[in-house]
Amino acid sequence: MGCAICLAIVAVVGWVAYKLLTGKEKKLPQLDPHEWWGPEHLKGKVDETIRSFEVKFSDEMINDLRSRIKNHRPFTPPLEDVGFQYGFNSSQLDTWLQYWAEEYPFKERETFFNSYPQFKTSIQGLDIHFIRVKPEVPAGVKVVPLLLMHGWPGSVREFFEAIPLLTSQNPVYDFVFEVIIPSLPGYGFSDAAVRPGLGAPKVAVIFKNLMNRLGFKRFYIQGGDWGAAIASAMVTLYPNDILGHHSNMASARTSSTNLWTFIGAYFPSLVVESKLASRMYPLSAFFSFLLEETGYFHIQATKPDTVGVALSDSPAGLLAYILEKFSTWTSKENRDRLDGGLSTFTRVQLIDNLMVYWSTNSITTSMRLYAETFSKPIRDLKLESFTTPVPTWALQAKHEIAYQPPKLLKMKYTNLLGTTELDEGGHFLAFELPSIFAEDVFKAVQAFRNWNMARLLLLAALSIIAFTPIYFLYLRGSPPMPEINLNEWWGPDQMKGRVDASIRPFQVKFSEEMIKDLRSRLKNHRQLVPPLEGVAFEYGFNTKQVDRWVTYWAEEYPFAEREKVFNQFPQFKTNIQGLDIHFIRVKPKVASGKEVVPLLLLHGWPGSTREFLEAIPLLTAVSKDRDFAVEVIVPSLPGYGFSDAAVKPGLGADKMAVVFRNLMNRLGFKKYYVQGGDWGSLIASTMATFFPKEVLGYHANVVFLQTPAISFFTILGSIYPPLVVKSDVADRMYPLSKIFCNILEEMGYMHIQATKPDTVGVSLTDSPVGLAVYILEKFSTWTRMDHRSVADGGLAYRFSKEQLVDNLMMYWVPNAITTSVRLYSETLNKRFYSMQIDEIKTYVPTWVIQAKHDLTYLPPWLARLKYPNLIHETVLQDGGHFLAFELPKVFSEDVLQAITAFRVWHKENSVRADL
C-alpha cells in the first residue's frame, strides 16, 4: 500500500514538473493605464494640473490628538522580564505619549515637512501627493530623474535626510538626481481608492503615469518594502521606461527560487556565500522569525478595515502598532530590549512619521494595500513569474527581514549588476543610514549608465530538472507524555503561600464611572475611514455599520438590566496557582436517587462565559428520561473576563488544562466531563490527554488537529476526496484551494495575536469602537463565511445586540483584551508544539459535533488517530463557530446525549474489564 502511494505521488509530481517545463510561454498582462480609482461622478471633471501643496497641522487636530492621548485607558502591564517579545512593551508607552502630547513641536515640524517643494496632481481619479526637488548644478553635470517609493509603516518622511545627499553634486559622479517622492495612494496626503482592486501592480501604473505627467519618459526608480514591490512591478510591466532599478528589499519569489532556497537548506554553498548563509539558514529560524513578524501582514491582507478602526481611534494604539515595527525591523535583537531599540531614530523622527498617518487619518486606507495586492485578481497576474531585463542593483542590510543571494535574484532580475551587503542596518534603510543609502544609489545608477551605454545584454536559458527526495509519511506511536507541573505559579512571586484559597462569591458590577468613561469614548471616537464602494465585510468590518453599534452601546444598551443578566447564576472566585479564577457554578435541583454529574464548559476567543448563559438552564434541567442531572462549571479562562492573567510568560493552553483540573479538584470533583469549543476545545482535549483517569468524557464542537498523518491524508484527499471524506460533507474540506483561501482570509488575527499580542492590544484597550469591530467581525464571518458579502455582516442572523454587546463587556469592563490574546502567543510556539500533544493518543471517550459553517471540518476516522474512542460524530446542516451561543438547544441536547453515551461506555468497559 505504502509503495503504491509513493508511486502515485511520484507520478503526480512528475506530471506537475512536465507541465511546468513544457507549458506555453506566458504573455505579460497589460494593465489599463486609464483605470479610474476616484468617484465615478468626477470622471472627466478633475483638475489634472500640478498644484502646490503644504502640510498643515490644524489646532483642532492637535487639540483633539492631545485630548485622546491624555485620556487613554490604563494599559495592560507587560509580563515580567520581557522586552518587545510580545509586541510593544506597554511600560514604554507613557514616555512616548507624553512626548507626543506635550513636547513634540507641532508647528516647528509642520515647517520641517514643508522644507521641500510639495505638489499634488490627479492621476486616474486620485490626487497624488509628491515631493519634487530639483538640484542646481553647473554645466557638464547631468540631472537624472529618480523616483523614490516608500512602504508601510513608513512614509515620504523616511527620505528627508537622504534628499539633500541625493540632490547635491558628488565629486565622484558626473550626474545628480532630481528626486520625486510620492505618497502611495491611501497613504499620507495621497487620496485612497474608493473601490476595490488597487494593488501594487496598479499603483505601478499610477506612478508610471505620474512620471510621464512630470515629463519623464525614462527614469530611474528606487524602493523598499511596498516601494520595492511596486518598483518590481514597474520594471516588469514597463522595461522600456525604466533606466535602472535600485532596491533595498529586492525579492524574487518564484517556483525556481523557492526550490533553490529549499535545496540550500541542505547544501547552503550551492545557493549562498558562506559568510552570508546565516542570513538565510537554517530555514527553521528564518520561518520562525517570519512567522513572528508577519502577523500584521496577515490581518492587513485579510481584515484591514477591522484593525483600522481601533488604530484610527486610538493614538496610543497607532503609536504602539507602528513603532513596534521600527523596533524589530531595525534589528531582531531589539525584541529583547526594554526600550525596543527605538533610539536608532530620534523621537521627533518617529513621531513625524506617525503624524503622516494620524493627521491624514490614513492608517486604514494604507493597510488596504495588503488586501488588494494579495487578492486573487492581482495574484492571477503572476507578475513575479516574469523576468525583467531592466538593470538592477540590490542593497541588502544585515538586519533586513529577508535575504536573497544574487543567484536567486537573477532568476527574476536577469541583469542584476551588483549587490551591496551591509554589516549593519535594517528595514528602513534610507531613514536609518541616509549617507550609506544615498551613496549606494549613486553607485548603482553609475553602473546602470555604464551598462546602458556599453554593455551587451547577455541572455542565458537554464533548464533545471530536479527530482528532490520525497520524505514520506510514516505512522508512529504516541510521543511520550510531557512532564506536568501541577503547582506551577502564575501569580506575583511575593504572593506565594499567602493567597486565599477559599471559594468566594462574586458578582459582576458595571460602575457608573466605567459606564461614563465608556460612553464618552464611544461618542468621542474619531471620524472613520469610509469603506470602499460596493463592498460589505470583505475588507473586515464595514465602517458604515459602526455608528449604529456605537449608538446602541452608548445610548441604548441597558447596563443595569444586563448586569442582572450576568448575575442570574451563582458566580465565584478561587485562587488556583496564584490566579483568581472566576467561574459560574449552577447545581440542578434534583430529587434523591438521581445522580448529579459535573460538566466543565470552556469557552474560547473572542467569546466568554457569556456564550453559555442560554445553554445553562437547558443543561441543568432535570429530565425523567435521564438517570442523571448535570451540574455545570463555566470558568473564564485566565486573562479573560474576570479571571486573573498570568504575570509571567508561558501560560499556554496546556498549562491552562492544569489550572482547570486543579479548579475541578478544588470544587471536590475527582472525575468529571469536559466540553469545549475554540480554545476551550484545545484545553479540554489536553485535559483528557493529561488526566485520562479524571476526565470521564470529552465533548467538542471544534476539532482541529495538526499531525503529519492528518496533513498527508488531507492533501491526498484533494486528489480523490472519497478516500478521505464522505461525499455529503466533502465540500467542508475540498477544494483545498477554497478552504485554505478562507483560512488565510480569516486567520490574520491569529497571526498577529500569536506574535505581537501586546502591540495590537494597545489600541483595542484604548478604543471601545476598535474593540467592538475587532470582535464583532468574528461573530459575523465565523457564523457564516458568506456574511462577508452581507451589508451588515449578518450579525443579526443569530444574535441580538444585547448578546453581542454583553460579550464585548466581558472584555471592556475587566480590561482583558490584551491578556486574552496573549494565549495565542503562549500556545502557538515552539515549546507547545514540541510536546506533540496532538499525536498523543487520548483514550477518553469522545464525542464531536461539527457545524456546517465552522472554520474547519475533520472526518471521524482521522479524528480517531488522536481519539481512538471517538464514539459519535454529530454532523449539523446549520450553525457556525459559536455553537452554544448560536444554537443553545441543539448544543445542549447534543452534550446531554454525549454524557449519556459516555456513561454507557464506562459501564460496558467496566464489565469487559471484570471479564
The catalytic residues are 678, 824, 881
CA 85 to chain centre: 16
Task: Label residue 140 left, alpha or beta by phi (over 0 means left) and psi (-120 to 50 means alpha).
Answer: left
d(CA 784, CA 798): 10
- Residue indicated by cell numbers 479540554: 684
Query: In the chain, what are the helix, strand and coil shares in percent, each to the nearest 5?
Result: 45, 10, 40
d(CA 251, CA 265): 18
Contacts of 230 (CB under 8 A, 6+ apart): 149, 184, 200, 203, 204, 207, 223
The grid cell for 396 is 541588502
Among candidate residues 383, 315, 382, 373, the one with its CA nearest the CA of residue 193: 373
Among candidate residues 245, 252, 228, 295, the one with its CA nearest the CA of residue 429: 228
Report how far apart, in Å, the C-alpha atoms of 40 and of each of 36, 125, 889 are.
Answer: 8, 9, 49
d(CA 316, CA 102): 14
Q: Which residues pair with 673 in a beta bridge?
A: 599, 697
Contacts of 651 (CB under 8 A, 6+ apart): 490, 638, 639, 645, 822, 823, 826
The grid cell for 158 is 523616511
DSSP characters over 693-726: TTEEEEEES------HHHHHHHHHHHH-GGGTS-
For residue 679, what is the enclosing H or E element? Answer: helix 679-690
Helices and strands in the chain: count of H runs, count of E runs: 35, 18
3-state secondary structure 831-872: HHHHCCHHHCCCCCCEEEEECCCCCCCCCHHHHCCCCCCEEE
d(CA 623, CA 418): 79
As a whole number of Å, the end-to-end CA separation of the chain is: 37
d(CA 636, CA 555): 28
Question: Exposed e or buried b for every residue in 344-363, given b needs 16+ CB within 10 A?
Answer: bbebebbbbbbbbbbbbebb
d(CA 592, CA 624): 13
Contacts of 802 (CB under 8 A, 6+ apart): 557, 558, 562, 565
Whether the CB-CB separation of 319 and 92 falls below 8 Å is answered with no
Contacts of 355 (CB under 8 A, 6+ apart): 57, 109
